[in-house]
């Protein structure tokens, strides 16, 4: 698919280039923020799986530069109809201003004090002002000290397993290279999510937030229940810029509440085993999980029985919210564009895409089929 046909078929791809975002994913974070007010009182953030960096751009513009964004809808519905939906002539007759603020509309700039943002990815990421970038694998234990050092370089203690000055928000937009085999993709994605959660547990402050991409597979409710062990509120959200046809969604966890006596540890990262109290009296304290030894020696997790959300059952269904203004682009729709419209180049081409080597091999071989007839590349 060429750049300009992708512009038609993916309004957010086109808009991202027009508005200076490195990836269309920026709109997902902006729309999640519209719904959950994610950045309120937030100054210290970790952005996991951050390349090419559009979420870090959003963080930089809101926290460091102090920009405010309106709703990701249309300021002028007539303009949308004219240009993109009905074509010029029909659009003029179609009228009707719809009062929604446009993306990127600048209000009073209010930079925040003491902002610290650390972004991590397997891929190299082009620098962004005020953001510490690390090239590392979030599933590898050696990334934890790297992250702790990046967060507090002056006071870093190599023996520490948690941050002395914890963070307010951990984001993870991690996605594996999708194979198309749903079960495998969901499994690999869930491993990324656990890795992100383990890192979050080492650096989040009580009351902090964790937002991560998930793939909605058949056992996703189990995952929500497990997240509910360490967060007060767990909700699932689907931003309008995330295609309805995709199994992607975002889990938004608020109110981090490490269980009593919890210490972040690489051996027992979720704190779900021996670090949880074994006391069934905990059941009386509505929201706290405790561990219960079964006759066969297996440890099960229990919630307080009066907790109406969980009713003592490990399976728990998280509330689901669609977010993003209804007047915003539909990510599954194609839009008409003027014939003479110039397609823009991406803001930040991938620095080291996984397909780079394949392209080099193809070029060296003289094109798609190689110089030798039938040669596959
Ligand atoms: N949020 C990013 C943005 O706004 O530009 C887009 C993230 S992209 C959808 C997913 C990223 O996950 C890729 O850059 C990929 O390199 C990264 N990723 C996948 N597995 C990873 C891992 N094990 N450790 C670190 N990053 C990983």
User: If you take atom 20 of ligand 1, which residue's CA is the nearest one?
Assistant: 176
Instruction: Out of 98-107, 148-157, 237-246, pick the least confident.
Output: 98-107
Ligand 1 atom with the shortest distance to the CA of 123: 16
Confidence at 26, pLDDT banded by 50, 70, 90: very high
- Average pLDDT on 99-128 reads 77
User: If you take atom 23 of ligand 1, which residue's CA is the nearest one?
Assistant: 137
pTM of the model: 0.78
Domain ranges of the chain: 6-67+114-265+315-364, 68-108, 275-303
Residue-wise pLDDT for 262-301, tens only, equals: 766 555 555 444 455 555 555 455 455 556 666 665 555 5
CATH superfamily assigned to domain 6-67+114-265+315-364: Vaccinia Virus protein VP39 (3.40.50.150)
Percent of the chain at pLDDT > 70 equals 70
Confidence at 375, pLDDT banded by 50, 70, 90: very low
Residue 360 has pLDDT above 70, yes or no: yes
- Predicted ipTM? 0.99
Instruction: Out of 67-71, 88-92, 237-241, 319-323, pick the least confident.
Output: 88-92
User: If you take atom 22 of ligand 1, which residue's CA is the nearest one?
Assistant: 137
Residue 377 has pLDDT above 50, yes or no: no
Residue-wise pLDDT for 330-356, tens only, equals: 888 887 777 777 788 888 776 777 677
Instruction: Out of 96-110, 192-206, 310-324, pick the least confident.
Output: 96-110
Residue 5 has pLDDT above 60, yes or no: yes
pLDDT at 22: 95
| Residue 351 beta carbon below 6 angstroms from any ligand 1 atom | no
- What's the 3-state SS for the chain? CCHHHHHHHCHHHHHHHHHCCCCCHHHHHHHHHHHHCCCCCCCEEEEECCCCCHHHHHHHHHHHCCCCCCCCECCCHHHHHHHHHCCHHHHHHHCCCCCCCECCCCCCCCCCCCCEEEEEECCCCCCCCCEEEEECCCCCCCHHHHHHHHHCCCCCCCCCCCCCCCEEEEEECCCCCCCCCHHHHHHHHHHHHHHHHHHHHHHEEEEEEEEEEEECCCCHHHHHHHHHHHEEEEEEEEECCCCCCCCEEEEEEEEECCCCCCCCCCCCCCCCCCCCCCCHHHHHCCCCCEEEECCCCCEEEECCCCCCCCCCCCCCCCCEEEECCCCCCCCCCCCCCCCCCCCCCCCCCCCCCCCHHHHHHHHHCCCCCCCCCCCCC
Long-range contacts of 184-191 (CB under 8 A, 24+ apart): 185/215, 186/215, 186/217, 186/247, 189/213, 189/214, 189/215, 190/214, 190/215, 190/217, 190/223, 191/139
pLDDT at 338: 73
| Residue 23 beta carbon below 6 angstroms from any ligand 1 atom | yes
pLDDT at 250: 97
Q: How far is the CA of 199 from the centre of ligand 1 (A)?
A: 15
Mean pLDDT of the chain: 78
The response to whether 173 counts as a known ligand-binding position is: yes
- Average pLDDT on 82-102 reads 38
User: If you take atom 15 of ligand 1, which residue's CA is the nearest one?
Assistant: 49
Residue 239 has pLDDT above 70, yes or no: yes
- Average pLDDT on 130-147 reads 94
Mutation test of ligand 1: which of 20, 118, 141, 174 has the most ligand atoms closer than 8 Å to its C-beta? 174
The response to whether 33 counts as a known ligand-binding position is: no
Residue 213 is among the residues annotated as catalytic for this protein: yes
Q: How far is the CA of 250 from the centre of ligand 1 (A)?
A: 14
| Residue 50 beta carbon below 6 angstroms from any ligand 1 atom | yes
Residue in 213, 228, 238, 288 annotated catalytic: 213
Q: How far is the CA of 65 from the centre of ligand 1 (A)?
A: 24
pLDDT at 270: 58
The response to whether 316 counts as a known ligand-binding position is: no
Confidence at 180, pLDDT banded by 50, 70, 90: confident
| Residue 82 beta carbon below 6 angstroms from any ligand 1 atom | no
């Amino acid at each position: 698919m060429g750049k300009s046909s992708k512009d038609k078929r993916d309004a957010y791809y086109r808009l991202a280039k027009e508005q200076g975002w490195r990836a269309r994913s920026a709109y997902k974070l902006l729309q999640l923020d519209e719904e959950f007010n994610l950045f309120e009182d937030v100054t210290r953030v970790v952005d996991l799986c951050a390349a090419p960096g559009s979420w870090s751009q959003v963080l930089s513009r809101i926290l460091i530069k102090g920009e405010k964004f309106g709703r990701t809808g249309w300021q002028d519905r007539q303009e949308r109809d004219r240009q993109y939906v009905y074509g010029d002539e029909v659009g003029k007759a179609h009228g009707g201003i719809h009062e929604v603020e446009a993306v990127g509309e600048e209000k009073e700039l209010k930079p925040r004090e003491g902002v610290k943002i650390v972004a991590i990815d397997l891929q190299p990421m082009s620098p962004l002002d005020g953001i510490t970038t690390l090239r590392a694998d979030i599933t590898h234990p050696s990334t934890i000290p790297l992250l702790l050092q990046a967060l507090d370089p002056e006071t870093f203690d190599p023996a520490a397993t948690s941050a002395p000055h914890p963070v307010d928000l951990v984001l993870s937009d991690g996605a594996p290279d999708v194979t198309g085999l749903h079960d495998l993709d969901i499994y690999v994605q869930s491993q990324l999510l656990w890795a992100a959660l383990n890192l979050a547990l080492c650096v989040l402050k009580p009351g902090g937030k964790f937002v991560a991409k998930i793939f909605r597979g058949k056992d996703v409710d189990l995952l929500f229940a497990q997240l509910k062990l360490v967060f007060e509120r767990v909700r699932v959200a689907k931003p309008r810029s995330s295609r309805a046809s995709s199994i992607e969604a975002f889990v938004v966890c608020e109110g981090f509440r490490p269980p009593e006596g919890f210490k972040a540890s690489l051996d027992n990262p979720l704190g779900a085993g021996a670090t949880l109290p074994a006391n069934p009296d905990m059941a009386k304290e509505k929201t706290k999980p405790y561990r219960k030894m079964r006759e066969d020696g297996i440890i099960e997790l229990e919630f307080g029985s009066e907790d109406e959300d969980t009713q003592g059952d490990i399976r728990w269904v998280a509330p689901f919210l669609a977010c993003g203004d209804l007047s915003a682009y539909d990510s599954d729709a194609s839009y008409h564009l003027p014939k003479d419209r110039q397609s823009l180049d991406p803001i930040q081409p991938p620095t080291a895409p996984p397909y780079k080597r394949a392209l080099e091999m193809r070029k060296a071989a003289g094109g798609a089929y190689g110089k030798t007839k039938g040669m596959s590349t």
